[in-house]
Amino acid sequence: MKIKAGIIGATGYAGAELVRILLMHPQAEIAAISSVSFEGKALSEVYPSYKNLCDMECKTQDEVVAKSDVIFAALPHGLSQELAAQCDKAGKAFIDLGADFRLKSEEEYQEWYGGTFLDKELHEKSVYGLPELFRSNIQGKKIIANPGCYTTGAPLALAPAIVGKLVSTEGIIIDSKSGVTGAGRKPSQGSHYPELNEGFHAYKAANHRHTPEIEQTLSTLSGEKVTITFVPHLLPVNRGILSTCYARIREGVTFGQIRTAYETFYENEYFVRLLPDGAYADIHNIKYSNFCDISLHHDSRTNTLIAISAIDNMVKGAAGQAIQNMNIIFGLSETTGLELVPPAF
């Protein structure tokens, strides 16, 4: 019997991407979808590309929960906690693509998102769902905080060096560039075509909400508090995130040791592709896929590791990773429904 999946917020970009991937999943089926903005409308009316593929009508949130084994919430922050409680009470798995369960510190959540933990016990039940780093925590759990896009690509780029104590945890700089879909479907001045096209700019420098989430992951991996400098940029493309991460190599550590550490760390990770020396991670090569490409570079003059990762922010940075988490929860191979081949051109 197939897993019955429900999507709340199905008409946003992440929600629509969940639909696209779940339609191809051999062991799951979409049971119900909801959208506050388009309730009563067929999804194919909102996204004509789904004509005859998903003509399902957007129902209420309660109907989605009732009909589903697993509920994906593709909602803005602040809207998932009550929904998670509803799913928990009903014994349903809940995967949150928003930010409500990502931070373990309520103080940090208040500082960066302006909210509070409505049910602390529920937050204790939740786990952070970045499978390549925290797989054992996810197994057997039912409330999953699906990481954000920047907070997937950057930690994967740095994890082996941090875990192996090969680089200093002080002075880490993360410079990331994202496609405009990361801003969501709701129109804004910054994503307006004449403003975006043929431009390239940083935003929320050293003040982006993903900063504490990246720091939380790196701190967990290192066993000590890690503080980073994080600057995101907006690319005039639809998809992709390229993260260039800089970390000072510890005295006595060679670049060869670092490459060996990365090869060992990721040797059994299907979705992480470590590129050979001289190659560069490129968002072109991972589009529409759940892959994370990583390239390693050495600035010998300053003895700095430059680790570059490329992901599709809508797949590995959102919907694909959420389905990867679903596969873990239900005991499936993590690659099930996710063997998506990036286009060659």
The set of catalytic residues is: 149
Q: Exposed, middle or buried by CB within 10 Å (0-12, 13-18, 19+), for 72? A: buried
Q: How far is CA 123 from CA 14, 98, 100, 260, 330, in A?
A: 23, 14, 9, 37, 21
- Which three-class secondary structure state does DSSP give residue 55? coil
Query: Residue 93: exposed, middle, or buried by beta-carbon count in 10 A (0-12, 13-18, 19+)?
Result: buried
Dist. CA 24–CA 338, nearest whole Å: 8
Q: What are phi and psi of 335, to 5 degrees?
A: -85, -5
What's the CA gap between 102 and 209, in Å, rounded? 11
Q: Which residues contact 56 (CB under 8 A, 6 or more apart)?
A: 30, 32, 33, 42, 43
